[in-house]
A and B are shown apart, each in its own frame.
Chain A
Amino acid sequence: MLCEKYSSPQIVLTFAPRRFKDSLPYFAGESIILPGVLQVKKAGHLSRILEFYQTRLSGISFLTPAVILFATFAWLPILWSVVISFQHFSINPNEKSTWAGFQNYKDLFEDPTFMTAWSNVLLFVGLALVIGYFIPVILAILINEIRHARGFLRLGYYLPAILPVVVISLIWKFLYHPGEGGMFNTLLRPFGIGPVKWFFTDHMAIFSIVIMATWRGAGATMIIYLAALQGIPPELYEAAEIDGASIGRRLWHITLPHLLPIMSILLILQVIGTFKVFAEPFIMTRGKTMTIMSFIYEKAFHSLNMGVATAMSMMLFVTLVLLSFVYFYLQRKVLSRF
């Protein structure tokens, strides 16, 4: 790359004096004085080296702010995190943190709320998949077909996604009021369903929270699917119709295969994201419904037991990495079929 750039002599337009070849050191390059004002200068070693490093230096200076920020707030915490999970970490600067080996992890398994946290989160993941994964796809396919007021529909479904989590969670907490006056209970009454105690048990609470999260999150995912659907070439549909395919067959053979890659990516993203759920259960049940994240939060900031909290984070991280690997492996196997 270097030689390509500097193989041709640089043409320097100058009114330089006619003879100065002898006064410059050899690595400054030769100057060939042509009759007239044009001076042709061959790039010598020094100026080549200088230019090379000038580009390099500015490249490095461009990277510097990001590298400093990442080193302090990303790479250091990641490494530190692994270390802490193996320590009896003390937040008190006077006490020294002692090495604990796997003690933190053992403590984790003996903690009573540990299993609750994991089972709750698994329930979250399962329910979110069943209830919340397919709705955006269906919505996107339907809205893509509608020719009237499509912009309004898109906006309307996306609106809940931009409202702050805190606000939505608190409003839905009101709606889920267990007495007869709660909004949802009132709506269910004509169907003969008695007043439902929405947050009475952990399982009920999780169900309620998943419904709220679906209401809120369907819009954003739907937009992504809509964009993907726009990318399907219409000629495919036309050809299929000419060949006599019914609407159902067109859906199955054209629309869905195009959506499958996006759907699979969003599947793993949804699963990973649901594992990390914190804000909605925390706000709606004030921490009584234990999730992995509220477990970590409580251990870290209430019990001040950083070691155990980090150990749990590490477990979560390893789980997510394993899930990603399983996902990529499965995806490669499935894609090889196509």
Chain B
Amino acid sequence: MANKEATEGRSLLSNSDLKHPWVRFIYWLVFVSLVLGVLTAFIPLLWGVMNALKAPRDIFAFPPRILPQPVSNPLKWEWGNYAEAWQKVNFPKYFLNTIILALGVWFFNIFPSALAGYAISKFRSRLSRAMAFLFFMTLMVPFEAIMIPLYLTVKDLPFLGINLLQDRWGGGMMAVILPAGANAFNIFVFKGFFDDIPRDLMEAARIDGAGEWKIFLVIVVPLSRSIIAVLSIFSIMGTWNDFFWPMIVMHNEKFHPIMLKLYNFSLSPVSESVVLASLILATIPPIILFLIFQRQIMRGIALSGLKY
């Protein structure tokens, strides 16, 4: 188009709009308010960091001081709270628990769904259409409606009779990992992606004598790296924050992921500053993950939001 450069990146306000002094004034006003808004997004975190350095009664003391200036001992910043939180909560162990859980869930989230999505996308038959419909139906049912039978199923697997809540199956970890495989959303995301892969690519491979599995593993999977990356990040972040279902199925404290452990810790008789300190420590990994993967995360959200 002729004027592509001129219209590029332009939206409600145009360049000539911005020349108007009134508009410029409001623009900067809005900008400053937005920045202040972002800072308020950071305030709870900052408050947590500061207050974890105070003795407990100073957190709720009045008048409150922003910097950790405890009434009892001026200018004494209790760094010990963080150390105590680290020790008492035994972060390394529970981080490890969470990582193991996340890996298991990631595997079951991605691979069965990729296979099913590929099958639905490439093998158009009555069977695969029926399966697609059945998968889709599960999206209509909220997890909460089936969580009780799911609990009972997990307690006594059909045909195998295994109790996934027992310690030998990771004290409930398998009970979180296995049901993660029933993820219809991922299946349809993969299907949409695989639909875009040209058939000729696979036909060529087939003529060259490759079997279906070989085609999938050698050709399709490397092509899908971007979509696998996005879904993996969602999966891992989901596991990290997951609270409800693990709380129901994981009864052995030894295997708890970090969120369960923090919740129990906050209920135990510890000083509030230490609890705060532990919470702050727990926010560091998600923030780091987010900063590293922000582009994929933003792309993934737009993807999932715009498929409507």
Contacts and interface: CB of A to CB of B under 8 A. Distances in A.
Given A59-B212, A159-B287, A223-B301, A69 B182 contact: yes
Contacts of A297: 248
B169 to A, nearest CB: 15
Contact of A144 (B11, B38, B59, B297): B11
A171 B149 contact: no
Contacts of B286: 162-164
A145 B305 contact: no
B152 A167 contact: no
A297 B144 CA distance: 9
A246 B7 CA distance: 18
A255 interface: yes
A321 interface: yes
B294 A155 contact: yes
Contacts of A224: 301-302, 305-306
Instruction: Classify the secondary structure of B's interface with A.
Output: helix
Given A159-B41, A165-B241, A320-B142, A73 B279 contact: no
Contacts of B302: 223-224, 227
Interface stretch (A28-36, A181-189, A196-204): A181-189
A317 B113 CA distance: 25
Nearest to A248: B12
A177 B60 contact: yes
B62 A237 contact: no
Nearest to B31: A146
B153 interface: yes
B16 interface: yes
A334 to B, nearest CB: 16
B148 A81 contact: yes
Given A63-B116, A69-B112, A228-B306, A80 B149 contact: yes
A145 B44 contact: no
B13 A179 contact: no
Interface in B17-33: 17, 23, 27, 30-31
Contacts of B112: 65-66, 69
Given A174-B276, A278-B244, A159 B149 contact: no
Interface string B213-251: 100100000000000000000000100110110001000
A172 B62 CA distance: 18
B23 A66 contact: no
Contacts of B149: 76-78, 80-81, 84, 310
A49 B34 CA distance: 66
A228 to B, nearest CB: 7
Contacts, number: 300
Contacts of A160: 41, 44
Contacts of A247: 12-13, 17, 23
B279 A167 contact: yes
A234 B7 contact: yes
Contacts of A148: 31
Contacts of B31: 146, 148
Contact of A167 (B41, B118, B283, B301): B283
Contact of B64 (A66, A142, A172, A186): A186
Contacts of B87: none
B8 interface: yes
The main secondary structure of chain A at its interface with chain B is: helix
Contacts of B59: 174, 177, 181
B60 A182 contact: yes
A69 B63 contact: no
Contact of A143 (B34, B241, B266): B34
B244 A59 contact: no
Interface string B133-150: 011001011101111111
Q: A-B pairs with the 7 shortest C-beta distances? A: A156-B38, A224-B305, A58-B212, A59-B123, A69-B181, A66-B116, A181-B60
29 contacts: A60-B119, A62-B115, A63-B127, A66-B116, A69-B182, A72-B153, A75-B134, A76-B158, A77-B150, A80-B149, A81-B149, A139-B37, A141-B12, A142-B30, A146-B30, A157-B37, A159-B287, A164-B282, A171-B279, A177-B60, A220-B301, A224-B305, A228-B305, A234-B7, A234-B10, A241-B17, A276-B142, A283-B243, A293-B144
Interface of B: 3, 7-14, 16-17, 23, 27, 30-31, 34-35, 37-42, 44-45, 47-48, 51, 59-64, 108, 111-113, 115-116, 118-120, 122-123, 125, 127-128, 131, 134-135, 138, 140-142, 144-154, 157-158, 178-179, 181-182, 184, 187, 211-213, 216, 237, 240-241, 243-244, 248, 259, 262-263, 266, 272, 275-276, 279, 282-283, 286-287, 289-290, 294, 297-298, 301-302, 305-306, 308
Interface of A: 54-56, 58-63, 65-67, 69-70, 72-78, 80-81, 84, 91, 139, 141-146, 148-149, 152-160, 162-168, 170-172, 174-175, 177, 179-183, 186, 215, 219-220, 223-224, 227-229, 231-232, 234-235, 237-238, 241, 247, 250-251, 254-255, 261-262, 265-266, 272, 276, 278-279, 283, 293, 296-297, 300-301, 306, 309-310, 313-314, 316-317, 320-321, 324
Given A62-B119, A162-B290, A321-B140, 11 more contacts: A66-B113, A66-B135, A145-B13, A153-B34, A158-B298, A163-B287, A183-B47, A237-B14, A293-B144, A306-B148, A324-B140
